[in-house]
Structure 1
Amino acid sequence: MESFLLGILALVTVAGAMLSFKHVGKLSRMQTHIDQLERRLRAFEQKSTSSKPSPRVESITAPKRDASASHLGGASKPRASSNPSSPPTLISYVEKHQQGLVNAIKGNGLLWLGGLVLAVGGIFLANYAIESGFVSAELRVILGGVFGVSLVVASEFLARHRIRFSIYSPAVCAALASGGVVTCYAITLVAFNYYGFLSPLIAFATLALIALGAVSLSLRFGPLLAFIGILGAFAIPALVNTGSNNIPLLLAFVSLVSLSGVWVAQKVAAVWLWRVSFLGQFLWALMGLSSTEASHFVAWLCFSVFSTYLFALVRTLGWSLMATQHQGMSLRSLFSQRQQLAAISLVLIVIHGFLIQYGSNEKIWISAFTLAALLLVAPIRHSAFDMWPALMLVTGLTHFAMLRPAEGPIDLSFILSGKYLFSQMLAVGLCVYGGILARKHNTHDTARPAFWLYMVVSPVALYGVSYALAPSKVTGVLYGIWALELALIALISALVTWRVNPHIEKLSFSVLANACLTLCFTMVLDAAILSLALAIQVAMVSIQSAKYRVALPDWLFKALLLAVLLRLTGAPWLADYADEHIFSIHWTAVVYPAVFLSLWLARKYNPSPTLKVWLEGALLHVVALFITTEPSYWLMGAYPELFLASYTEKVFLALGWVALAVTYWHRACVAQQLAKLYRVAGFILMIGAFWLHLDI
Structure 2
Amino acid sequence: QIGLLLLLSLLALSLLQPFSLSAFVLHLPFAAVLLVAARQREDLCPFPWLSAVVLIVISLVPLLSGQSHVVAAPVDKFWAYAIAASLFSVGGVWLLRQSRLVAVWSSLAFLSPVLWLSVTYLQLPELLQGWHWSAITLMLGGAYIFYATQRLARAEHDIPAVWLLLAGHAAYSVAVAIAFQEAGLTLALALQLISLSWLIKRYQLQSVDWLVKLLVAVVVTRLTFNPWLLSYADTLGGTHWSLWTYGGATACCVVAARFLNSDNPLRAWLEAAALHLLVLTLGAETRYWLYDGQVFIDRFSYLEAAINVNLWAALALAYHYRGQLSEHLRGIYAVAAKVLLCASLGAFALLLTAHNPYFGYQVVATTPVFNSLLLAYGLPVVMAWLVRRYYVARWRNMAGVVGMVALFVFINLEIRHLWNGDVSDYLPTSSGELYTYSLVWLLIAIGAVLQATRLQKTQLYKAGMCMLLAVIAKIFLVDMSDLAGLLRVASFMGLGLALLGLSYMHKRLSGETS
Report the TM range for the smaller structure's normalisation: 0.5 to 0.7
Distance 1:625 1:482, change over 3 A: closer
Hey, what's the Cα distance between the residues in 1 that align with 2:211 and 2:295? 34
Corresponding position of 2:290: 635
Q: Which amino acid aligns with 2:256?
A: A
Corresponding position of 2:132: 480
Hey, what's the Cα distance between the residues in 2 that align with 1:688 and 1:378? 60
Q: CA deviation at 1:539?
A: 1.9
CA contact (8 A) 1:613 1:671 kept: yes
Q: For residues 476-507 of structure 1, what are the alpha-carbon distances to aligned partners after superposition, in whole Å with 9 as ceiling and x for unaligned?
A: 36x63464365356447646864784343455
Distance 1:585 1:639, change over 3 A: closer
Distance 1:460 1:643, change over 3 A: same
CA contact (8 A) 2:268 2:328 kept: no
2:309 is the alignment partner of 1:613: no
Pairing of 1:212-223 with structure 2 (within 5 A):
none
Distance 1:423 1:307, change over 3 A: closer
Hey, what's the Cα distance between the residues in 1 that align with 2:311 and 2:54? 38
2:79 is the alignment partner of 1:399: no
Hey, what's the Cα distance between the residues in 2 that align with 1:630 and 1:394? 45
Hey, what's the Cα distance between the residues in 2 that align with 1:606 and 1:387? 38
Corresponding position of 1:79: none
Q: Which amino acid aligns with 2:270?
A: L
2:240 is the alignment partner of 1:591: no
Q: CA deviation at 1:627?
A: 1.3
Distance 1:488 1:691, change over 3 A: closer
2:262 is the alignment partner of 1:603: no
2:214 is the alignment partner of 1:559: yes
Distance 1:606 1:397, change over 3 A: farther
Distance 1:641 1:588, change over 3 A: closer
Distance 1:678 1:514, change over 3 A: closer
Hey, what's the Cα distance between the residues in 2 that align with 1:694 and 1:388? 61
Q: Which amino acid aligns with 2:269?
A: W
Match of 1:421 among 71, 74, 79: 79
Distance 1:574 1:462, change over 3 A: same
Corresponding position of 1:358: 17
Hey, what's the Cα distance between the residues in 2 that align with 1:536 and 1:439? 34
Q: CA deviation at 1:397?
A: 4.5
Q: CA deviation at 1:657?
A: 4.7
Distance 1:447 1:475, change over 3 A: closer
Corresponding position of 1:581: 236
2:322 is the alignment partner of 1:626: no
Hey, what's the Cα distance between the residues in 2 that align with 1:539 and 1:436? 33
Pairing of 1:429-440 with structure 2 (within 5 A):
429-437=87-95
Hey, what's the Cα distance between the residues in 2 that align with 1:564 and 1:528? 11
Hey, what's the Cα distance between the residues in 1 that align with 2:346 and 2:88? 51
Q: CA deviation at 1:466?
A: 3.6
2:13 is the alignment partner of 1:308: no
Q: CA deviation at 1:631?
A: 1.6
Match of 1:528 among 173, 183, 187: 183
Hey, what's the Cα distance between the residues in 2 that align with 1:389 and 1:461? 12
Distance 1:687 1:437, change over 3 A: farther
Q: CA deviation at 1:396?
A: 0.4
Pairing of 1:146-545 with structure 2 (within 5 A):
306=2, 308=4, 348=8, 351-362=10-21, 365=24, 369=28, 372=31, 381-382=41-42, 389=49, 392-393=52-53, 396-402=56-62, 404=69, 414-415=74-75, 417-418=76-77, 420-437=78-95, 448-449=102-103, 451-464=105-118, 466-468=120-122, 470-471=124-125, 473-476=126-129, 480-481=132-133, 483-484=135-136, 487=139, 490-491=142-143, 494=146, 498=150, 501-503=154-156, 504=158, 505-506=160-161, 508-509=163-164, 512-513=167-168, 515-517=170-172, 519-545=174-200
Hey, what's the Cα distance between the residues in 2 that align with 1:683 and 1:491? 46
Q: CA deviation at 1:617?
A: 1.2
Q: Which amino acid aligns with 1:590?
A: W
Q: CA deviation at 1:633?
A: 0.9
State the structure with more CA Rg.
Answer: 1
Distance 1:646 1:665, change over 3 A: same
Distance 1:379 1:541, change over 3 A: farther
Hey, what's the Cα distance between the residues in 1 that align with 2:204 and 2:3? 44
Hey, what's the Cα distance between the residues in 2 that align with 1:384 and 1:491? 30
2:245 aligned counterpart, secondary structure: helix
CA contact (8 A) 1:640 1:653 kept: no
Hey, what's the Cα distance between the residues in 2 that align with 1:375 and 1:616? 45
Q: Which amino acid aligns with 1:480?
A: H
Q: CA deviation at 1:620?
A: 1.4
Q: Percent identity?
A: 23
Distance 1:626 1:429, change over 3 A: farther
Distance 1:499 1:425, change over 3 A: same
Distance 1:573 1:364, change over 3 A: same
Q: CA deviation at 1:591?
A: 2.5
CA contact (8 A) 2:21 2:72 kept: no
Distance 1:539 1:485, change over 3 A: closer
Q: For residues 39-86 of structure 1, what are the alpha-carbon distances to aligned partners after superposition, in whole Å with 9 as ceiling and x for unaligned?
A: xxxxxxxxxxxxxxxxxxxxxxxxxxxxxxxxxxxxxxxxxxxxxxxx
CA contact (8 A) 1:572 1:578 kept: no
Distance 1:528 1:640, change over 3 A: closer
CA contact (8 A) 2:31 2:48 kept: no
Q: For residues 643-665 of structure 1, what are the alpha-carbon distances to aligned partners after superposition, in whole Å with 9 as ceiling and x for unaligned?
A: 65444445555655545544433
Q: Which has the higher contact order (CA 8 A, sep 6+)?
A: 2
Q: Which amino acid aligns with 2:18?
A: G
CA contact (8 A) 2:15 2:58 kept: no
Hey, what's the Cα distance between the residues in 2 that align with 1:586 and 1:541? 28
Corresponding position of 2:407: none
* Unmatched tracts of structure 1, length 5 or more: 1-304, 310-343, 409-413
1:476 aligned counterpart, secondary structure: coil
Q: Which amino acid aligns with 1:611?
A: L
Hey, what's the Cα distance between the residues in 2 that align with 1:556 and 1:497? 18
Pairing of 1:80-95 with structure 2 (within 5 A):
none
CA contact (8 A) 1:628 1:660 kept: no
Match of 2:323 among 661, 668, 683: 668
CA contact (8 A) 2:14 2:61 kept: no
Q: Which amino acid aligns with 2:253?
A: L
CA contact (8 A) 1:572 1:629 kept: no
Hey, what's the Cα distance between the residues in 2 that align with 1:527 and 1:430? 31
Q: For residues 242-266 of structure 1, what are the alpha-carbon distances to aligned partners after superposition, in whole Å with 9 as ceiling and x for unaligned?
A: xxxxxxxxxxxxxxxxxxxxxxxxx
Hey, what's the Cα distance between the residues in 1 that align with 2:236 and 2:47? 40
TM-score (norm 1): 0.41
Hey, what's the Cα distance between the residues in 2 that align with 1:357 and 1:539? 44
| Residues paired across the two proteins, number | 341
CA contact (8 A) 2:49 2:108 kept: yes
1:526 aligned counterpart, secondary structure: coil
Distance 1:665 1:499, change over 3 A: closer
CA contact (8 A) 1:490 1:512 kept: no
1:581 aligned counterpart, secondary structure: coil
Hey, what's the Cα distance between the residues in 1 that align with 2:179 and 2:38? 37
Distance 1:669 1:493, change over 3 A: closer
Q: Which amino acid aligns with 1:308?
A: L
